[in-house]
Amino acid sequence: MRKMQVAEVARAGGPLTLVERDVPEPPEGHVLIKVQACGICHSDTHTMEGSWPGLQFPRVPGHEIAGVIDTLGERVDGWRVGQRVGVGWHGGHCGRCDNCRHGDFVRCENLRVPGLSYDGGYAQYMVAPQEALARVPDELADVDAAPLLCAGLTTFNALRNSGARAGETVAILGVGGLGHLGLQFARKMGFMTVAIDRGADRAALAMQLGAHRYMDSESQHVAEALQAHGGARLILATANSGKAMSAAIGGLGMNGKMILVGWTEEPVEVSATQFIMGRNSVAGWPSGTAAQSQETLAFSALSGVKPMIEEYPLSRAAEAYDRMMSGKARFKVVLTPDQ
């Protein structure tokens, strides 16, 4: 039996520990993936803290996975050994619930998420169902592809489904793990792109990532500044702050929309008068399906969108997770196999 290294958490709130396990055999309809890279996402806190309903321990976190197919299970069609694949938040669906019957697989009532429903990518090998697989273009390195399967997919999907059209003003609230990708996508999609963050020190980076204009929320009234330029057709709120979202929402122009993708428990306050007279709206956007992950990767390869990453070997997974949680990483932390 082949052996592998995985970084697992044995109990809620417990540490990430490197352990040796047998390499699993993929069951029917599944594949065994040799992991080449796995992004560390803030949502991995659900695994670390045991906050996900029904979570069973021990569990290997990780849902931003890029690798190659090592072994095919029975009744796997359309995939081959050695093929480059990725797996994101959408790690399988039941196909039977009302949402699935309407084709809304990412909102499956029995959605399976790598690292939560089954062991994820903080490992040398992992097993995934074939419906969770996305093809990885040759033009993308594994370390670049992995973060695009969650942070990239979420921002890309939200932007392209927002209703905003090329040439209109799109503001990206927060230049972080989500926002630094949202900025690149917005620029490549042809929007007049505005970056919003705290501090003048982010301006140069925001412009480098594609912003036409930068707004410092510490020295400017963001809503007034946006209105001075005609108002935003869209504000993509990637910051994990209800207060920051509330402060920016007044910058929406006529028929403007704020889409929330940054996770926060803080409420977002809106002005009823503004929303009625400006026909404004607020919406949320979840991640996306495996097919949409594949489209995100394809667009990124075509347009040159890449995440800014910090690489850590799997053996330093605990250190890498702490780095992500510190908020100091620029901007995505990615695990790779030890050499």
pLDDT in tens, 24-44: 999 999 999 999 999 999 999
Is pLDDT of 100 > 90? yes
- pLDDT at position 6: 98
Domain 3-150+288-336 matches domain 162-284 at the CATH topology level: no
Question: In this predicted model, what pLDDT tens digit does every residue of 197-219 receive, in sequence order?
Answer: 999 999 999 999 999 999 999 99
∠ Cα 144 181 184 (to 5°) = 105
Residue ranges of alpha helices (H) inside the chain are 45-49, 98-101, 142-147, 153-160, 179-188, 203-209, 222-228, 242-248, 272-277, 290-303, 317-326
- The overall pTM is greater than 0.85: yes
Is pLDDT of 339 > 90? no
C-alpha 314/C-alpha 178 separation (Å) is 23
Is pLDDT of 263 > 90? no
What share of the chain has pLDDT > 90, as a percent? 95
Quickly count helices (H) and strands (E) in the chain.
11, 15
- pLDDT at position 297: 98
Instruction: Round the average pLDDT of the chain to a whole number and report it.
Output: 96
Where along the chain do its domains lie? 3-150+288-336, 162-284
C-alpha 214/C-alpha 179 separation (Å) is 13
Residue 264: pLDDT band (50, 70, 90) is confident
- pLDDT at position 1: 82
- pLDDT at position 245: 94
C-alpha 142/C-alpha 260 separation (Å) is 28
Say which CATH class 3-150+288-336 falls into: alpha beta
Phi, psi of 256 (to 5 degrees): -75, 155
Superfamily (CATH) of domain 162-284: NAD(P)-binding Rossmann-like Domain (3.40.50.720)
Residue 102: pLDDT band (50, 70, 90) is very high
203 C-beta neighbours (distance < 10 Å), count? 17
| CA 144 to each of CA 138, 140, 283, 295, 334: distance values in angstroms, whole numbers, following the listed order | 11, 6, 28, 15, 9
C-alpha 138/C-alpha 156 separation (Å) is 20
Q: What residues form DSSP beta bridges with 333?
A: 40, 310
- pLDDT at position 265: 86
